[in-house]
Structure 1
Amino acid sequence: MSALERDALERVLIGAYPLLAELPAPLRGDVVDAAAVHDFRDGAVVFSERQACGGLPLVLQGDVKVFKRSDAGREIVLYRVGPGETCILTSSCLIGGADYSADGVAEGALRLAMLPPTMFQRMIAESPPFRAFLFAMLSNRLTDLMERVERLAFHRLDRRLAEFLVERADAGFRTVAMTHQQIADEIGSVREMATRTLGQLAEQGLVELSRAGVRIVDAEGLRAMAVRDGR
């Protein structure tokens, strides 16, 4: 790449991952030189279960949805990776030399910069800020996954659905533009049960259902359902 293209890529990388500015100058330069930018359309496969890990993806635009799929085709979303974040599954595979144990697909137009495994190892060895960033991300993701396991194991379906809708409302979404199947995947259920439970919430005046998705009518009512003590 030309010097101008290289400088532009460095600015984009640091814009998405400010910690890269804290790398020693020689290492930062090698990171920029080693980064390979890839674009994925919405729904495109980024990595697959049992696939070897080819490097560390740094998300510049869009999101990667990481999920598990059963033999029967059911899915459960584990987490998402956006700009400024790192995929803990990829990190653990690179550290342990293992293959992927889940799938990752693009949500929206996805652009990422892939760093080779050798560069990932150098960053761990030579950059305390990167190590701190990586360990903090691992800790946060582990906490999130434990909360998700608790919900799946101990919370009733209506409560899990209310929790999901409250999270979307808190993120600024008044309408959840997702199919019932996609919502079922998010809460660890099947489409038929998600549809039935959404209908019950609609009967209670908490949501409205339409072709556009699920419109949140009473966020506080959903919040009360999400935090109740009952299972």
Structure 2
Amino acid sequence: MDFPHYFPIWNKLNSNQQNRLLGSLIPKKVKKGTIIHNGSADCTGLLLVKSGQLRAYILSDEGREITIYRLFDRDMCLFSASCMIRSIQFEVTIEAEKDTDLWIIPADIYQGITAESAPAANYTSELMATRFSDVMWLMEQIMWKSLDKRVAAFLLEEASIEGTDELKITHEIIANHLGSHREVITRMLRYFQNEGIVRLSRGTVIILEKAKLEQIQDA
């Protein structure tokens, strides 16, 4: 069982708590595009990513998506256990961006352990603070940063995640991440192309001038 190597406070739990966790784990393999958690009525449990990539997003009243954070290897998601966090007032959807191996920790088991264990409670509070910081950072981006800066920052982040400047991504997907319209993203990408910063082809954005994207992002 690899789980102890992925759970950061494993060694701070007693043997009874460790056994309860191991006995309740639900290993899961999900394909790219799978919706793992859908809104506050769906108390999936906590998600710990072994390998792969997940996206947490919210939907506007008009049905537009906006990414609030992403989860990579060893990341844990609390918002998928919405029944643990009654004060959350927004609906979070979690989708697999890549084929992903993960563990689901049932909310009642985890909640019982955090009630007994100060290290577990502290870790949970830190995780919650980090996620809310992600949300606050996103709000700041939307309110104060122009779209060209946000698109530039997204392309740079995506290139870093994928390890390549040839991004297999559609304008629709970029719009969903940034809470924008596809047509608006297309206009912005065409502007970048006219400036020689990127090259566009069907389902692909190739970054030609990373330094110029960094300049736009930091301007």
C-alpha spacing 1:162/1:54, structure 2 compared with 1 (3 Å): closer
C-alpha spacing 1:183/1:57, structure 2 compared with 1 (3 Å): same
C-alpha spacing 1:14/1:99, structure 2 compared with 1 (3 Å): farther
- Flag the structure with higher helix content: 1
Name the TM-score, length of structure 2 as normaliser. 0.89
Alignment of 1:95-134 (within 5 A): 95-96=85-86, 101-134=91-124
Partner of 1:84: 74
Contact 2:59 2:91 (8 Å CA) reproduced: no
1:221 correspondence with 2:219? no
Identity among equivalent positions (%) equals 28
Partner of 1:66: 56
What is the aligned-residue RMSD (CA, Å)?
A: 2.1
Select 2:188's aligned residue among 194, 197, 208: 197
Q: What is the SS of the residue equivalent to 2:184?
A: helix
> Tell me, which stretches of 5 or more residues in structure 1 are unaligned?
1-8
Q: CA deviation at 1:189?
A: 0.9
Q: CA deviation at 1:72?
A: 3.2
- Aligned counterparts of 2:156 and 2:98: Cα–Cα separation in 1: 22
Runs of 4+ in 1 over 4 A off after TM superposition: 97-100
- Aligned counterparts of 2:81 and 2:42: Cα–Cα separation in 1: 12
Q: What is the SS of the residue equivalent to 1:27?
A: helix
Cα-to-partner distance string for 1:124-168 (whole Å, 9 max, x where unaligned): 123333223222222222222211111111211111111112223
Cα-to-partner distance string for 1:157-182 (whole Å, 9 max, x where unaligned): 11111111222344433122111000
- Aligned counterparts of 1:170 and 1:65: Cα–Cα separation in 2: 16
Select 1:137's aligned residue among 127, 142, 147: 127
Contact 2:25 2:104 (8 Å CA) reproduced: yes
Alignment of 1:137-216 (within 5 A): 137-171=127-161, 172-216=163-207
- Aligned counterparts of 2:107 and 2:128: Cα–Cα separation in 1: 18
- Aligned counterparts of 1:150 and 1:57: Cα–Cα separation in 2: 27
* Letter in structure 1 aligned against 2:184: M
Contact 1:89 1:100 (8 Å CA) reproduced: no
Q: Would you say how many aligned residue pairs link Structure 1 and Structure 2?
A: 218
Contact 2:28 2:104 (8 Å CA) reproduced: yes
- Aligned counterparts of 1:168 and 1:109: Cα–Cα separation in 2: 17
Q: CA deviation at 1:113?
A: 1.8
Q: CA deviation at 1:39?
A: 2.1
C-alpha spacing 1:227/1:99, structure 2 compared with 1 (3 Å): closer
Q: CA deviation at 1:75?
A: 1.0
- Aligned counterparts of 1:129 and 1:173: Cα–Cα separation in 2: 39
